[in-house]
Amino acid sequence: MAKQRETKKRLGSPWTGLGAVLTKEMADHLTSARMQILELLIVLTAAGTGYAALQNLQTGGNRHFLFLQLFSTGKDPLPSFAGFLGFLVPLIAIALAFDAINGEFNRRTFSRVLSQPIYRDSVLLGKFLAGLFTLALVLAAIWLLIFGIGLVGLGVPPTSEETGRAVMFLVMTIAYGAFWLAVGMLFSILFRQPATAALASIAVWLFFMLFWNMIVSLVGGSLLPIRYGLLEEVLARANLELALSRVSPNTLFVEATIALLDPTVRSLGVILPFELQGALLGAPLPLDQSVLLMWPHLTGLVAATILLFALGYVLFQRQEIRA
């Protein structure tokens, strides 16, 4: 029995071949026609929203934190750049991951890959990290493009406060994309057809984007109805709806974006007038205080991403792979 148990142990590190999978998948992502179309789309989006925000800033408005306003200011009919990212990042992440696993099954290449000294752990983690690094590379390039538009159009460099907030906004956007990347990879493991995996991932995105707030309102009204119009009833219902709405990754991203790009925001919850007594209204918060406001949102997205990846890992390890 001891000899049989010894023969079942894997030889070498479980991450053998991770680097090969990572570099190969990143090369495939960056050179694919799908990624080139997505990159062109997001570059045009960044250029359009950045130019519209620049025109709006040059015609007036608040003259403080100009570089942050490039990310958060829109001009009809274009929304702000941060608003566009909330819409585009999930689609880009899903496009990178919906056929990551089932594509190998359909091409019948998994048995060939695993015949090499590469474990399933390395394949799954390498594909996820390749998608994440590709997404981070694209978002960082767009982030630099917005900064370049600001340097040319505004003629002044960003302050250290603005740079720090913009960097944290980039980190939050990457974490937001990582969540949807994990969603797309999970459905790629569950379904053998890439079209089915893509439709399921987009259905989850549409559910949180369009329908979740409606469900939150209905649940809040049924669980805590306002019968007498008392302040306690209104507060209890508002807090319940706020807690339920934060189940959505879209809500977490939007609230964290508001806290980072608007330094005057002091709270992301319900504030009563007496709680503002003694506060310097309109005075910007320092960067560390704004980070404390959005830190639970960032950790929530990271935790949800790890949970989805772990679920996909368990399902992938139980799948049978034949030649």
Residue-wise pLDDT for 220-240, tens only, equals 888 888 887 787 888 888 888
Supply the pLDDT for residue 265. Answer: 82
> What CA–CA distance (Å, rounded) separates 29 from 11?
31
pLDDT reading at 1 higher than 70: no
Confidence of residue 60 (pLDDT cuts 50, 70, 90): low
pLDDT digit string (tens) for 165-179? 999 999 999 999 999
Supply the pLDDT for residue 14. Answer: 65
Asked, for residue 293, whether it belongs to a domain, the answer is: yes
Q: Percent of the chain, pLDDT > 70?
A: 89
Whether the pTM exceeds 0.85: the reply is yes
Q: Are 139 and 45 contacting, i.e. CB atoms less than 8 angstroms apart?
A: no
Supply the pLDDT for residue 271. Answer: 66
Our count of domains for the chain comes to 1
Asked, for residue 227, whether it belongs to a domain, the answer is: yes
Supply the pLDDT for residue 169. Answer: 94
Domain residues for the domain of 304 are 15-318
What six digits make up the tokens of 54? 């620049």
Asked, for residue 284, whether it belongs to a domain, the answer is: yes
Asked, for residue 323, whether it belongs to a domain, the answer is: no
Q: Residues 120-149: what's their mean pLDDT?
A: 88
Residue bearing the bigger pLDDT, 184 or 322? 184
pLDDT reading at 101 higher than 70: yes
Confidence of residue 154 (pLDDT cuts 50, 70, 90): confident
pLDDT reading at 217 higher than 70: yes
Supply the pLDDT for residue 221. Answer: 85
Q: Residues 92-120: what's their mean pLDDT?
A: 81
pLDDT reading at 6 higher than 60: no
Asked, for residue 6, whether it belongs to a domain, the answer is: no
Supply the mean pLDDT for the chain.
83
Asked, for residue 173, whether it belongs to a domain, the answer is: yes
Across 78-87, 225-234, 305-314, the highest mean pLDDT is recorded for 305-314
